[in-house]
Amino acid sequence: MAAAGPSVFLLMVNGQVESAQFPEYDDLYCKYCFVYGQDWAPTAGLEEGISQITCKSQDVRRALVWNFPIDITFKSTNPYGWPQIVLSVYGPDVFGNDVIRGYGVAHVPLSPGSTSVCENICFRHKRTIPMFVPESTSKLQKFTSWFMGRRPEYTDPKVVAQGEGREVTRVRSQGFVTLLFNVVTKDMRKLGYDTGPPDTHGILGPSPPQGLPR
Amino acid sequence: MNPQEEKVKIITEEFVENDEDADVGRQKTSRVQRRKRKKQLPTAGPDEMVSEKSHLGDQQEPGHEDPNADARPLSMPTRRGPRSLPPIPSASRTGFAEFSMRERMREKLQAARSKAESALLQEIPTPRPRRLRSPSEKELETEFGTEPGGKIQTTQQEDDSQSYSRVKFRDSVRKIKSKTPVPPGFPSAEEAYNFFTFNFDPEPEESEEKPKAKNRDGANQEEGEGEEEEAPVPEGIDKTDEEELLDDKDAVDFLLGLDRGAEDIVAVRPADYESVHIRLQKEKELLFIPSRRTVPTYKKLPENVQPRFLEDEGLYIGARLEVPRTNQNIMENRLLMQEPVSAQPLLPSGAPEQLREGRRWFGDDGRILALPNPIKPFPSRPLVLSQEQDIKAELETLYKKAVKYVHRSQHMIGSGDPPGNFQLDIDISGLIFTHHPCFSREHVLAAKLAQLYDQYLARRQRNKAKFLTDKLQALRNAVQMSLNPAKTPKSLDTTRRAINEYKSEIRQTRKLRDIEQEKDRTLLKTIIKVWKEMKSLREFQRFTNTPLKLVLRKEKVDQKADEEAYEAEVQAEISELLEEHREEYEQRMDEYRSAHQQWKAWKKAQRTKKKKKKQGVEEHPDDEMEEPYPGEDPVKPVPPEPTNQAVIEQEVRERAAQSRRRPGEPMLVPELSLAGSVTPNDQCPRVEVLRREDVKRRSVYLKVLFNDKEVSRTNSRPLGADFRVHFGQIFNLQIVNWPESLTLQVYETVGHSGTTLLAEVFLPIPETTVVTGRAPLEEVEFSSNQHVTLDHEGVGSGVPFSFEADGSNQLTLMTSGKVSNSVSWAIGENGIPLIPPLSQQNIGFRSALKRADAISSIGTSGLTDMKKLAKWAAESKLDPNDPNNAPLMQLILVATSGESYVPDFFRLEQLQQEFNFVSDEELNRSKRFRLLRLRSQEVPEFRNYKQIPVYDREIMEKVFQDYEKRLRDRNVIETKDHIDTHRAIVAKYLQQVRESVINRFLIAKHHFLLADLIVEEEVPNISILGLRLFKLAEQKRPLRPRRKGRKKVTAQNLSDGDIKLLVNIIRAYDIPVRKPITSKFQQPPRSSRTFSEKQAASPTTHSPTHSADYPLSQVLVRPFVEVSFQRTICHTTTADGPNPSWNEELELPFRAPNGNYSTTSLQSVKDDVFINIFDEVLYDVLEDDRERASGIHTRIERHWLGCVKIPFSTIYFQAKIDGTFKIDTPPVLLGYSKEQSVVAERGFDPVRSLSEGSYITLFITMEPQLVPGESVREKFDSQEDEKLLQATEKFQAECALKFPNRQCLTTVIDISGKTVFITRYLKPLNPPQELLNAYPNNPQATAELVARYVSLIPFLPDTVSFAGICDLWSTSDQFLDLLAGDEEEHAVLLCNYFLSLGKKAWLMMGNAIPEGPTAYVLTREQSHYLIWNPCSGHFYGQFDTFCPLKSVGCLIGPDNIWFNIQRHDSPLRINFDITKPKLWKSFFSRSLPYPGLSSVQPEELIYQRTDKAAAAELQDRIEKILKEKIMDWRPRHLTRWNRYCTSTLRHFLPLLERSQGEDVEDDHRAELLKQLGDYRFSGFPLHMPYSELKPLIEAVYSTGVHNIDVPNVEFALAVYIHPYPKNVLSVWIYVASLIRNR
C-alpha cells in the first residue's frame, strides 16, 4: 500500500501536566486520561496516568508542580473525535478523605508544534485549563458530603469531555492546571487534513540572508 | 531708581516699538530731522515722566482690560501684539520737559495731524492694521520679524539718540493735547492720569469704518475738532477710552510720519472720537451678523404658500447631508438677507421681488435646496490587490472583535436606548365647541357664520374658480395656436384631433368653472344672509352674546375694464357654444342628408319599380322579391333646425348673471372679526344671565387614552364665554408598544357635580415621518349624542329649537366641537425619532409602513412569495423612485410580469448547495461517508464501528451486506428461513416492533439525569446514621462475618479480557444413571398406570439392573459438566454417581460485542451460557482379548444428559445467579434411567410426588461486577384516567418505600406504547375447545394440558430484544397471533385460561431462577396453592423447595392488585390469603373502589385449526434439513442413516406427544430393544415449541450426537410436529446414534 499512500495518520503527543493553581488546597495529585473518538486508537504510550502528590511551593506563587509527563501516540483515520485530555485533581479534605478538587478537559492541540522556540516562530502549546467540580444538589447535601468526605463526583471523569447531558449538572470553578503539549503529526496532510500553520519553512520560508555575517 | 522707573522704561520702549511698527524708515528719519530742529533733546525728560506716570496709573487700575473685551474682538485680528525690546537706556531719565515748549508743539502738531490723516488715508487705501496694545499684553512677544521695515528699524534702534528723540517728541504731542494747566513740579499719578484722559480726543479709526473715513476724505479739521470738543469723556468710561487712546497714538504716529514734507502746516488737534454707542450703531448699519435662530418657514416661501413636503406626497427625497442646525440657520438667514440688502439702495420698492430672489434657494418644503447625501455608508470599491505585494500578506487575517449586528429596523434600539423608550408627544392645544347646550341662539348663528367663513376662507385659499378660469384661458390660447396653420408643423389630422380634444376640455372646464363660481357666490350670499339673521337676532333680543362681527369690504373695480372682460368672456362663451352647436348641427345635417339620400333612392326605386311593373311584369317576375325595402316606407327625414345665436346668447347671459359678479359690481370680501362687544351681564335679561352663569360653571377636561388605557388627563379648564377652551398641554407618552389607538375623551364638569363624558375623539396615529416640531396642529371634530334641555337661554343639545317666533323651521343641534391637537413622535437626544421598530406594528398600519424596510415588515419568508411581496409593496406605497428600493421593485416587476419563473414552493435552505460538504451523489457513492453516516445514526450494525478507513477502497463491500440485507428484508418476507409463512410474517412484525422500540430507547438514552453523571451520596437518614454509629462500636473481626458487597464497576472503561464469567458448579442431584441393556423385557407394558402406581413402581425399575455386566460399569454414572459461553468451553472434572459434587469454579472470558462495554451494548448481549451435563463413558475397544493383559484400549464417549441454559442478560441484570436449577433433560434418555431411591417423598403435592428430572446447584457471577443498566425513564402517554394514574404512582411509591426490592406492577406498556393499567389484561378467556375435550372429566389434566399448550408458544425474552428495558405487554390475542412472547404474556394467557376454567388464579410477579423478575401464575386448588411456570408448563406446590420462584412481589387479579407486605417474600414462607390486609396491601380499597375497568383483552379467542398437511410438510422439511446439517457437521466421516430405526422412532414420537413426554420411557425402550436388538443405541427425543428452524438446529447440535466418530456408526433422526390450534406447533426431534454390537 505504500504506493497508495498512508491509510492512517498518526498523532504523537507529549508534554506534561506542569503545574496547578489551587489557592485553597494542598497535597494534590492529578489523574489524566484521554478521550477520543471511535476512529482513534492509541498505538503507544500511556492512556492514563496518576501523578505523585505534590505540596505547594513555599514562595508566593503557591504553585503545585507535578511535571507529570504525557506521552502517547494515536493513530486515526478521521479527525472527528480528536483526542481530549481529561484531568481530574484530587486531594485530601480536612478529614483526610480524598476528594475531588477539579475536573478539566482540553483538546490535544490540532497543529503540530513544540514548546521550544525555533528560529522565528514559536509554537507554544501551553494550555491553562480551568478546573471545576460538581456542586451538591442542596445545602444539606453539601454539608453531609463535606462532613462525610464524599463529595459529588462524576460517574466517570470522561463525562467532562462530552457535551451531552451536561445540562443537568451544576459545577463550581476552582483552580487552574497548566499543560504543555508537543505535537507531532504524520501523514495528516497526505490524507487531506491541514491543521498546521502555513508551512513557512517548506514553501515560502525566508532563507536567511546570505550576505550578513553571523 | 524705584520700580516705577523701571516701568517707565518699559513703557518707553513700547512707544518706541509703536513707532517702529507703524512707520517706515523714511518717516523716521524725517522725524528725527524734525525733532532736531524743533526740540532740544534734554527738555523732553520730565514730560515723559509725566506721561509715563499716567500710564502707570492705568496699569494699576484693576480689571482695566475687562470692559474693553467686548469692543475688541472686532478689531482684534488686525492688531499686532506688543513686543518687548531690550530696554533702551535711560533717555527717559534725562529730565523734565518744559511746558512752554508744549504749547508750540501743539499747534504744529495739530496742523500736521490733519494733513497727515488725509495723506495717510490716501496712501493706504486698504485698512491699515491697527497697532493697539493694551498694557497687559505688553509682555507678549510676537512676529517681530514679519514687520515690514523691521530690519530698518533695528538698525535704527542702534541709534539711541534717534529713538529718544522720537519718543520724546511723541510724548510731547500728548502733552500738548492737555488743556488743563499743568501744575509745576512732579504731578501725582492720579493727576497725571486725569490730565491725560481729559485731554484725550478719540478718533474713530476702525478699519471697518474706512468707507466712512473715505467720505471724510480731506476732512476739515473743524470736524475733527468738533468731535474733540464733544468728547470730554466721563470718568466711568475712560477705561475703554484708554484703548482708543492707544489707537490714536498710532494715528498720531502716521500723522507724524507723513507730514514730513509739510512740517510747517502741522496742526495739533485732538484725535477724533466716536462714542462706543455710536460706533456700535454704525457697525450695526454696516455689519450683518446672521442670526442663528431658525428662520420661520413663511419667510422662506412665497406668500400664502404652505410648505409642501414632497416626501409626504410620496415623492422620493434622498437623504440630505447632515448639516448642523445652527449652520443651516445661519446660511438661511444669510441667503434671505443677502440679495435684498445689496440691492436695497437701487430698488427700494422692489423688496418683494428681492425676497423672491432670495427664496429661490429654498425648496417647496422651506428648506435649503440640497442634493441627496452622496456618501454611501459602505465602500463599494473592491480592494485593489497590488501585484507587487505578496499575496500572503494581503490575505493575512486580522482578528477583529465580533461586532453585534444590529438590524436596520432596530437601530433605534441599538443606538443605546433601552428598548421601549419610545415617545409619543400629544399636544392638546384647545377645544372649540361648534355646538354646546349652553349656546344661545346667537351662538348658534355665530357658529354657523364662523363655519361658513372658514369655508369661504378655505375656498379662497384654493381659489378654484381662478384656477379653472386660467385653465380655460390657456386652453383657448392653445386652440388658437393650433388653429394657426403656420405654426403647426404637424399633420392636419393630429391638429384636428388635438383641437377637438381641447374643445371638449374647454367645455368641461367651463362647466366646472361655472359651478365653482356659482358656489362661491352662493357661499357669499349665505354668509351675508346669516350675518343679517344674526344682526336681526341681536336687535331682537337687545343684547349681544358674541363678539363676532362681519365686515363686508367692497373692492372697487375698474368698471370699464371689468365690463370689457365680462363682455369678452361672454362673447367667447357664446362663440364657443355657437361653434359647438354648429358642429352638432352639421353632424345632424350629415345624418339628415344621408337619410334623405336613402329616402330619395328608395323613392326612386319605388318609382322605377312601379314603372317596371307596368312595363313588363312577365320579364322579371322575381324582381319584386329582391326589393330592398319591401315592407316599410322610410319616413322622410326632417332637416335639423339651425341654431339661433340670439337664444344662445340669452342663455349665456342668464347664466353669467346668475353665477358671476355683474360687471362693475364691487367685489365683496367678507371679513369676520371678533371686534364686536358683548353686552355686559347687567344689561341682559335674566335668562341670558342664567345662561352665562351656567356657562361659567362649566369646565372641560380631556383624558388621553392610549391603547384604551388612560394615560393622562389635562387640567380642568373653565368653559369660556366663547365656548373655547385652551389647554396648551403637551403629553409625552413613553411607550413600549406600537400604538393601536389614541383616544381623547372630552369630559365636562358642571359646577361641583359629576362629570359627564361628552364625546370621544379618536386621533390618528402619526406616521413615522411626523416628528415633534414638524407636526401641524390638526383639528379633529367630535360630536356627542347627549340630549340636554336647559331652562335658560341656552338652546340645549339634541333638542329642537327654532329661530322663528312661531316655532316653525325647527332645528336640532347636537353637541359638537373640535379639538385642536397634534400628535407626533418625539425626537431623542441624538436626533433619532423615538419610534418603535416597525416590526411591532401590524400590517394594518399602512401609512406607517411607508418607510419601512420590506424585509422587516413581511418577514424573510415573504420574499419568496412574490405575490405577497407585490401586495405589500402596493400596500405600503413603496416609493418606486427610491434607489434603495430599486432591487425590490425590479424583483416585483419581474415577478409580477410573469417573465421569470417563480416557483410556488418554498425552499428552506437556498444556499444548502453551496454549503454542502460534497454533493449528495458523492456522499451516497462514497462508502466511507456512508459508513460514517450510518455510524452516527447509530444503526445497530455500525454503532460501534471503529476506525473507519480513510479510503473507499479499503472498505469492504461486505461491511454493508448485513445491513443491506436487513433493509431488504424489512419489506420482503423471506420464506426460505421460515418454513411457515405465518411465522415469517410474525417474525417480521416483531422485528419492526423491536426496531421502533429500540429507536425510542436510543432517543431516551440521550436524556441524562443528574444521577447519570454525578455520583452523590444520599443524605443519610437517622437510621443510617445510627447504623454507622453502631458500626463504630462493632467488632473488628466478628465471629459471624458478613458478606461484603463487591465494588461495582462502571462499564465504560473496560476492555476485552477485563470481564470474566465465573461459573461455580457445586453439585447435582438425580443425574440419570446408566442402564444395562441386557434384558429385553424387564417390565410389562404399563400403559395404564396411575400417578400413584408410577411412584410405587419406580423403585423396582432399577433393582435388577444393578449388577451390570458392562465392562466398566462399576459406577452408575460418571457425569461432568461442560460450560460453554461465547465459543469458549470449559469443563469440570468427572465425578462419580448420580449425585455428584464438583465444587469447581470455571472461568470464562467475556467479550462484549464490538468491544463496546457500554451499558446498552452489554444489555443487548444475546449469548447464553450453556451448562451441559455429560456422562463420560469408557468403552473398551480392545479387539483382541489377549491384549487385555498388556494394555488398555478404551474409547471415551460422552453422553449428553441434559443442559441448563442461562442467558447472559440474566446474569448481567442479576449480578449473580445462585441456586439449584432443574436440568433440562430429554424425556427419554435411552440407556439411562433415574435412580429413584434418592428421591424424597414430597408429600405436599398429591399429584406429583416424584421429583421430575435432575437438578444442579450453580453459582454464576461476573468478575468484576458490572453495574446493570437503568431502565428507560420514559413517560408513555396513556388513556387511563388521570386519577388512576396518580393513584398508581402513589401506590408504587408507597410500596417501593417499604420494600424496595419487591416487584410491584400497576401499569404496563402495551404494544402500541401506551400505558395500561395491569388488571385490564386479566379476563377469563376460553382455551381451545380441543384441549377441553381431551380430558372432559379431569380438570387437573385439562389444566396441565392448557399449561402445556401455553408453554408451547415460543418464548421470546423482551429483555434481550428490547435491551432489557421496557416490557411490552401484548394482549392474549396479539400474543397468540404473534406466537411469541415472554413470561408475562405466557402468564397472562395461562391465568386467563385458568380463570375461564373456573379456577381462582392470579398473576404472580416475583423473582425466579434463572429468569429474574418474572411472572408466574398462582392458582388455588381446594386446599392449597399451585405455582405455575407458564413458560415450561410445570407447576409446583407452594412448599416445593425446587420451585424456581424465589420471591413474590405482588399478586394481580382481574380486579385488584395486592402487594406483598409480609416480612418474607419466599413462597414457602408467605401466606397467600389476600383477604388479610395486614399481609397484602390492595390497590383498590374502600377509599379507592374498583372503578370497573374494561378489559383490553378480546371477548373471546378464536382458534383456527392448524392445517395438518402443512404441519406434515413442515415436518418433512425439518427432517431433511436436520439430516443435511448432521452430515455437514461430520465432514470427515460418512454419515449413514438407519432407515428402519428412523421409521421406528417416527412412530414413537406421537406417543411421546400424547403422553406429554412422560412415562413412555420403558415402553419405548422395550420397543426399541425388540426391534434393534443388536445395536447399541444412544439418543433422545428433543421437544420444543416451534418458532424457527435455527433453534432446532442449535438444539440438535448441542446434544453432540453427531460427534461420535466410531467408524460404523449409524444415525437415526425423526421429526414429528404435532399441531395445536392457532398454529402452535409442538416439535419433537428424535436423534440417535446406533452402533452395531458385535
What confidence tens digit (pLDDT) does each residue in B779-791 have?
A: 888 887 777 777 7
Closest residue in chain A to residue B1021, using alpha carbons only:
A144
User: What 3 state SS string does chain A have?
Assistant: CCCCCCCCEEEEEEEEEEEEECCCCCCEEEEEEEECCCCEEEEEECCEEECCCECCCCCCCCCEEEEEEEEEEEEECCCCCCCEEEEEEEEECCCCCEEEEEEEEEECCCCCECCCECCCCECCEEEEEEEEEECCCCHHHHHHHHHHCCCCEECCHHHHHCCCCHHHCCEEEEEEEEEEEEEEEECCCCCCCCCCCCCHHHHHCCCCCCCCCC
Share of residues in chain B with pLDDT > 90 (%): 0
More confident residue, B1095 or B1587: B1587
Shortest Cα–Cα distance, A157 to chain B (Å): 9
Shortest Cα–Cα distance, A124 to chain B (Å): 19
Q: Is A7 at the interface with chain B, CB within 8 A?
A: yes
Q: How many CB pairs under 8 A join A and B?
A: 90
Shortest Cα–Cα distance, A9 to chain B (Å): 9
In angstroms, the CA B725 to CA B728 distance is 9
In this model, does residue B1085 exceed pLDDT 50? no
> What pLDDT is attached to residue B842?
43
Chain B hits for A166, CB-CB cut-off 8 Å, are 1013
Residues 6+ apart with CB under 8 A from B37: B263
Cell digits for B1531?
A: 465432514
CB count in 10 Å sphere of residue B1313: 15
- Helices B160-177 + B44-60 axis angle, to 10: 70
CA triple B677-B680-B685, angle to 5 deg: 120
> What pLDDT is attached to residue B1585?
82
Instruction: Report yes or no: B1339 and B1140 within 8 Å, Cβ to Cβ.
Output: no
3 state SS of B518 = helix
Beta pairing, strands B1536-1537 & B1609-1620: parallel
State how far Cα B142 lies from the chain centre: 68
Instruction: Report yes or no: B112 and B268 within 8 Å, Cβ to Cβ.
Output: yes
What is Dmax (Cα atoms) for chain A? 76
Q: Which of B1017, B1029, B1050, B1053 to mutate to probe the A interface, most A CBs <10 Å? A: B1017
Instruction: Report yes or no: B777 and B430 within 8 Å, Cβ to Cβ.
Output: no
Q: Is B1050 at the interface with chain A, CB within 8 A?
A: yes
Q: Is A76 at the interface with chain B, CB within 8 A?
A: yes
pLDDT tens per residue across span B647-699: 777 877 787 777 666 666 777 777 777 777 777 777 777 777 888 888 888 88
Share of residues in chain A with pLDDT > 70 (%): 85
Q: Is B1013 at the interface with chain A, CB within 8 A?
A: yes
CB count in 10 Å sphere of residue B312: 15
Q: Is B393 at the interface with chain A, CB within 8 A?
A: no
User: If pLDDT is split at 50, 70 and 90, which confidence band does A31 have?
Assistant: very high
> What pLDDT is attached to residue A177?
93
CB-CB under 8 Å, B1016 with A141: yes
3 state SS of B981 = helix
Q: Is B492 at the interface with chain A, CB within 8 A?
A: no
Taking residues A207-211, report their average pLDDT: 40
State how far Cα B50 lies from the chain centre: 89
Distances in Å between the alpha carbon of B177 and those of B68, B222, B270, B1261? 24, 16, 6, 134
Tell me whether residue B827 is exposed, middle or buried, using C-beta atoms within 10 angstroms of its C-beta: 0 to 12, 13 to 18, 19 or more: middle
User: If pLDDT is split at 50, 70 and 90, which confidence band does B982 have?
Assistant: low
Closest residue in chain A to residue B1052, using alpha carbons only:
A156
Closest residue in chain B to residue A137, using alpha carbons only:
B1016
Q: Is B396 at the interface with chain A, CB within 8 A?
A: no
CB-CB under 8 Å, B1050 with A169: no
pLDDT tens per residue across span B735-776: 776 777 788 888 888 777 777 787 888 887 777 777 777 777
CA triple B958-B962-B964, angle to 5 deg: 95
CB-CB under 8 Å, B1015 with A153: yes
Q: A residues 127-186 near B, CB within 8 Å?
A: 134, 136-138, 140-141, 144-145, 148, 150, 152-156, 158-159, 164-169
Cell digits for B757?
A: 363624558
CB-CB under 8 Å, B1017 with A148: yes
CB-CB under 8 Å, A4 with B1014: no
Closest residue in chain A to residue B950, using alpha carbons only:
A77
Distances in Å between the alpha carbon of B397 and those of A111, B393, B400? 18, 9, 9
**At residue B470, what are phi and psi to the nearest 5 degrees?**
-60, -40
CB-CB under 8 Å, B948 with A39: yes
Tell me whether residue B1561 is exposed, middle or buried, using C-beta atoms within 10 angstroms of its C-beta: 0 to 12, 13 to 18, 19 or more: buried
Positive or negative, the CA dihedral B835, B840, B846, B849 is positive
Share of residues in chain B with pLDDT > 70 (%): 61
> What pLDDT is attached to residue B879?
59
CB-CB under 8 Å, A165 with B1008: yes
Start-to-end C-alpha separation, chain B:
167
In angstroms, the CA B1162 to CA B1150 distance is 10
Distances in Å between the alpha carbon of B919 and those of B912, B914, B927? 10, 9, 14
Mean pLDDT of all residues belonging to chain B = 69
Q: Which of A6, A141, A155 sits opposite B1015 (nearest CB)?
A: A155
> What pLDDT is attached to residue B1599?
76
CB-CB under 8 Å, B951 with A165: no
CB count in 10 Å sphere of residue B1373: 18
Q: Is A49 at the interface with chain B, CB within 8 A?
A: no
Chain A hits for B1010, CB-CB cut-off 8 Å, are 137, 168-169
Residues 6+ apart with CB under 8 A from B1496: B1310, B1316, B1320, B1321, B1371
Cell digits for B1464?
A: 418474607
In angstroms, the CA B4 to CA B650 distance is 110
pLDDT tens per residue across span B437-474: 777 777 788 888 888 888 888 887 877 777 888 888 88
In angstroms, the CA B1110 to CA B1179 distance is 9
Chain B hits for A77, CB-CB cut-off 8 Å, are 947-950
Q: Which of B932, B936, B947, B1007 to mutate to probe the A interface, most A CBs <10 Å? A: B947
Residues 6+ apart with CB under 8 A from B916: none
Q: Which of A76, A191, A204 sits opposite B392 (nearest CB)?
A: A204
Q: Is the pTM of this model over 0.90?
A: no
Chain A hits for B930, CB-CB cut-off 8 Å, are none
Residues 6+ apart with CB under 8 A from B623: B609, B612
CB-CB under 8 Å, B947 with A38: yes
Shortest Cα–Cα distance, B142 to chain A (Å): 54
3 state SS of B460 = helix
Highest mean pLDDT among A71-85, B801-815, B1233-1247, B1556-1570: A71-85
Q: Is A21 at the interface with chain B, CB within 8 A?
A: no
pLDDT tens per residue across span B1276-1329: 667 777 888 888 888 888 888 888 778 788 888 777 767 788 888 888 888 888
Q: Which of A77, A138, A168 sits opposite B1009 (nearest CB)?
A: A168
Q: Which of B918, B927, B1016, B1050 to mutate to probe the A interface, most A CBs <10 Å? A: B1016
In this model, does residue B103 exceed pLDDT 70? no
> What pLDDT is attached to residue A72?
93
State how far Cα B913 lies from the chain centre: 25
Chain A hits for B948, CB-CB cut-off 8 Å, are 38-39, 77-78
Q: Which of B946, B953, B1050 sits opposite A38 (nearest CB)?
A: B946
Chain B hits for A136, CB-CB cut-off 8 Å, are 1016
In angstroms, the CA A158 to CA B1052 distance is 9
Positive or negative, the CA dihedral B338, B342, B343, B344 is positive
- Burial string for B1447-1480 (b: 16+ CB within 10 Å, else e) reads bbbbbbbbebbbbbbbeebebeebebebeeeebb
CB-CB under 8 Å, A76 with B944: no
More confident residue, B247 or B700: B700
Residues 6+ apart with CB under 8 A from B1330: B1503, B1505, B1620, B1621
Instruction: Report yes or no: B765 and B742 within 8 Å, Cβ to Cβ.
Output: yes
Q: Which of B945, B953, B1013 sits opposite A38 (nearest CB)?
A: B945
Q: Which of A100, A168, A189, A191 to mutate to probe the B interface, most B CBs <10 Å? A: A168
**How many Cα atoms within 13 Å fall on the side-chain side of residue B758?**
29
Highest mean pLDDT among A170-179, B374-383, B424-433: A170-179
Beta pairing, strands B1368-1369 & B1307-1310: parallel
Q: Which of A38, A152, A198 sits opposite B1014 (nearest CB)?
A: A152
| Cell 352665562 found at | B692
Shortest Cα–Cα distance, B1059 to chain A (Å): 18
At residue B459, what is the residue type?
R
Instruction: Report yes or no: B1472 and B1417 within 8 Å, Cβ to Cβ.
Output: no
Q: Which of A41, A140, A168 sits opposite B1008 (nearest CB)?
A: A168
- Burial string for B757-767 (b: 16+ CB within 10 Å, else e) reads ebbebebebbb
**What residues are paired with A9 via a beta bridge?**
A76
User: If pLDDT is split at 50, 70 and 90, which confidence band does B237 have?
Assistant: very low
Chain B hits for A134, CB-CB cut-off 8 Å, are 1013-1014, 1016
Q: Is B948 at the interface with chain A, CB within 8 A?
A: yes
In this model, does residue B913 exceed pLDDT 90? no
Q: Is A16 at the interface with chain B, CB within 8 A?
A: no
